[in-house]
């Protein structure tokens, strides 16, 4: 190796080393960037595979069926006699709860429902009474009944409210309890609850059903 070659060789080697270093320095951010993009892509895949709202409502029809069932009892407590027909006992929980709240015998309320509607929550009489306990509403046919100060049932609930079984039983039991307290006896309270101008016929019929199922 001559003198010129000896002088050039260290410079060439230094250049090669510098080139390798620069290449490694450039490659490192590229690898980092590639790793970041892969991570983002993985996140996108996770998001795309996450359940949609359509996936989460698969069980909705079954839940809706549960809500549509009659509220037989919130706590399993049923004080209605097993001798009543299923059309009455399907409302057992509601009858028991609201009869007790009103201070009435559940079997008495069940007997009244037998007489009034037979357990049909959609019952509607020729005079305009609505629902399980056949309560006169403020609207519909009942709105045509006039008293001295205007419509007789202006302060009553609407037909829509009374078609709800729970509301109907709650309202009807409280109304009956109020009449019993006002008239002083169960028989007189039932007479006031029933149709006009039939004397004790209605009251005795309900009491007869009550006695048969006690």
Are 125 and 178 in the same domain?
Answer: yes
192: nearest Cα among 207, 179, 206, 208:
179
Instruction: Supply the pLDDT for residue 187.
Output: 98
Q: Read off the pLDDT band of 1 (50, 70, 90).
A: low
Are residues 89 and 187 both part of a single domain? Answer: yes
More confident residue, 117 or 34: 117
pLDDT tens digits, residue range 146-172?
Answer: 999 999 999 999 999 999 999 999 999
On whether the CB atoms of residues 30 and 23 are closer than 8 A, the answer is no
What does the pLDDT look like over 44-73, one tens digit per residue?
322 222 222 222 222 222 333 333 444 444
Q: How confident is the model at residue 94 (pLDDT cuts 50, 70, 90)?
A: very high
- DSSP of 84-142: S-HHHHTTHHHHHHHHHHHT--HHHHHHHHHHHTTT-TT-B-TT--BTTTTB--SSGGG
Could you tell me if residue 100 is inside a domain?
Answer: yes
Confidence band of 75 (pLDDT split at 50, 70, 90): very low
Total domains in the fold of the chain? 2
102 and 18 inside one domain = no
Alpha helices, DSSP H only, in the chain? 3-49, 53-56, 60-68, 86-89, 92-102, 106-116, 159-162, 165-183, 186-193, 201-212
Assigned domain for 86 exists: yes
Return the pLDDT at 13: 52
The Cα–Cα gap between 101 and 93 comes to 12
Residues 41 and 92 in one domain: no
Are 115 and 205 found together in one domain? yes
For residues 158 and 3, which has the higher predicted lDDT (pLDDT)? 158
Least trusted range by pLDDT, from 6-10, 78-82, 147-151: 6-10
Going by C-beta distance under 8 Å and a sequence separation of 6 or more, which residues neighbour residue 160?
none
Instruction: Give me the pLDDT at residue 178, please.
Output: 98
In a domain, 66, yes or no: no
Q: Are residues 36 and 79 in the same domain?
A: no
Provide the 8-state DSSP code for 164: S
User: What is the maximum alpha-carbon separation in the chain?
Assistant: 142
**98, 22: one domain:** no
Q: Does 88 lie in the same domain as 38?
A: no
φ, ψ of residue 181 in degrees (nearest 5) = -65, -40
Does residue 89 share a domain with residue 11?
Answer: no
- For residue 98, pLDDT beyond 60: yes
CATH number at residue 183: 1.10.530.10
Same domain, yes or no: 102 and 205: yes
Q: Is residue 54 part of a domain?
A: no
For residue 167, being part of any structural domain is answered with yes
Please tell me what DSSP assigns to residue 156: S
Q: Are residues 116 and 38 in the same domain?
A: no
Bigger pLDDT: 43 or 6?
6
Same domain as 105, residue 201:
yes
Classify residue 56: in a domain, yes or no: no
Tokens of 29: 């951010």
CA separation for the pair 136, 124 (Å, rounded): 10
Domain hosting 25: range is 7-47
């Amino acid at each position: 190796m001559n003198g010129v070659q000896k002088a050039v060789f260290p410079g060439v080697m230094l250049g090669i080393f510098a080139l390798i270093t620069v290449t490694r320095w450039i490659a490192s951010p590229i690898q980092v960037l590639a790793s970041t993009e892969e991570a983002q892509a993985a996140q996108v895949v996770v998001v795309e595979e996450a359940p949609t709202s359509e996936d989460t409502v698969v069980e909705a029809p079954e839940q809706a069926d549960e809500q549509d069932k009659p509220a037989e009892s919130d706590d399993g407590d049923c004080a209605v006699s097993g001798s009543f027909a299923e059309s009455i006992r399907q409302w057992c929980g509601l009858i028991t709860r609201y009869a007790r709240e009103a201070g009435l015998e559940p079997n008495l309320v069940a007997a009244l429902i037998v007489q009034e509607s037979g357990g049909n929550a959609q019952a509607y009489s020729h005079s305009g009474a609505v629902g399980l306990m056949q309560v006169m509403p403020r609207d519909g046919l009942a709105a045509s009944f006039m008293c001295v100060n205007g419509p007789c049932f202006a302060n009553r609930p609407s037909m829509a409210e009374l078609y709800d079984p729970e509301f109907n039983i709650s309202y009807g039991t409280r109304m009956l309890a109020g009449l019993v307290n006002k008239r002083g006896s169960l028989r007189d309270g039932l007479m006031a609850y029933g149709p006009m101008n039939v004397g004790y016929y209605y009251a005795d019929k309900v009491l007869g059903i009550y006695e048969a199922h006690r």
